[in-house]
A and B are shown apart, each in its own frame.
Chain A
């Protein structure tokens, strides 16, 4: 994904595609607009993501990041434009929806059920054949197997978040949408999450990661975007050595303060 001069709203396909064989896009958003009443929460965003891409999305509160994520997941319909997942226009049918894994700062778990029951239920809903095997695999991966039979309401916030991540990854989605997934995680949890996301990336999943933590976001990102007032105000692609966090932080602060002014 290439950086564009402001105030461009289009993020083209990644430049990685020049070096490697061109992969079919997993996710394509074309001039997506979503209005709530008269206000455009997302205003003409376009993006393309391929297998292994990770778009880190930054921006102040109210910039439209979560709305964009819900559009990309097919949870809400765009007012204008379209979102295509693996060639199918969202919201799509069940087969399209199962390609998405959704992680948010809301855990999306049932407090009265145990961690294992929550993940088993998610696996069943996604039509996973080996429900028990995949449930155990993902619990092990997120390092919560020893608390698998504890009701979620009795788990700490950090452990709940790890279970929530396990729930979203149990069916090995091709697109993982993450809204502030590091919220409430301790170091162990954050490392487990980063490792799980890297594995998902290597398995060919594309990621969209919303976070206020620049370090975590940039560590995984192949592409980044700063969102302001529903638009991509700045985009940048990670080079071979990643992205300089300090320089990016300055860029972010400058854009946000300009936007606020």
Chain B
């Protein structure tokens, strides 16, 4: 007897996957704790190796910020598919009614929330240790961070799926993703630097456009590529 059912819609399916991943992370907190400790440690180390008389804070801080975001994010991305490999839960997910695109979108949403949570911790820490004040332009910084995070999460999720099928996933993931992060991190860091220097937001618009363009390209390409990366 077939049970009455309704095919999950794209966003409903994505939300189910994201909610499950976030619930697991909330229960274990392993990746978040590791990423948070890394972020705070990195800020402290950069702060104490920084010579304020040589380089002004607004020149160094954007670089520090994006180094932290990039590497802290990798910790969460690694975990994203590692938890699916334990007891081959991913087989159950693939055998379900959810579309591959829906599963991918769910993973990206969960990774985006994870990255945003780490950023919410790292951003004030950088501002505090480097004595930065972005004033009324804080929303512009948030917009840059969000835009870059979308691209980082999409690319990272795709490569995490590929790396998870290998024996050296934790080593392979940074090697595969970092070259693809460069086109996102450069405009994000440049736009952040402009705002931290106190320049008008309009000056950073061209970098923001580059960021949006890369987001569109990467998200579209990753959605299309994901089903092929999980095929056996």
Question: Which A residues contact B (CB, under 8 angstroms)?
Answer: 70, 73-77, 93-95, 97-100, 102, 104, 106-113, 117, 121-122, 124-130, 134, 151, 167-168, 171-172, 174, 203-204
- Taking the complex as formed, is B55 at the interface, i.e. its CB lies under 8 A from any CB of chain A? no
> B36 to nearest A CB, angstroms?
19
Encode contact with A along B151-165: 1 for CB under 8 Å, 0 otherwise. Answer: 000000000000000
Interface of A is mostly: loop
Q: Are A111 and B92 in contact (CB under 8 A)?
A: no
Interface residues of B (CB under 8 A from A): 1-8, 13, 16, 20, 23-24, 27-28, 83, 86-89, 91-99, 231-232
Contact across chains for B5 and A129 when beta carbons are under 8 A apart? yes
Q: How many A-B residue pairs lie within 8 Å, measured between CB atoms?
A: 101
15 pairs, A vs B, C-beta closer than 8 Å: A75-B232, A77-B231, A94-B96, A94-B97, A94-B98, A97-B95, A100-B95, A104-B88, A113-B24, A121-B20, A122-B96, A124-B8, A127-B97, A172-B3, A204-B1
> Please, how many angstroms separate the alpha-carbon atoms of A95 and B2 in the complex?
12
Chain B residues within an 8 Å CB radius of A129: 3-6
Q: How far is the CA of A112 from the CA of B88 in the complex (A)?
A: 14
Contact of B3 among A93, A104, A113, A128 (CB under 8 A): A128
Question: Which residues of the partner chain A approach B88 to less than 8 Å between Cβ atoms?
Answer: 104, 106, 108
With A108-B89, A167-B92 known to touch, is A76 a contact of B1 (CB < 8 Å)? Answer: no
Known: A109-B89, A113-B23, A130-B4. 9 other contacts (CB 8 A): A75-B94, A94-B8, A97-B95, A97-B97, A102-B92, A108-B91, A122-B96, A126-B97, A129-B6
Closest residue of chain A to B23 (Cβ to Cβ) is A113
Residues of B contacting A99 in the complex (Cβ-Cβ under 8 angstroms): 2
Report how far A11 CA is from B1 CA in the complex, Å: 26
Residues of A within 8 A of B23 (CB): 112-113, 117
Residue of B nearest to A202 (CB): B1
- B8–A125 CB distance below 8 A: yes
Output the least CB separation between B31 and chain A (Å): 12
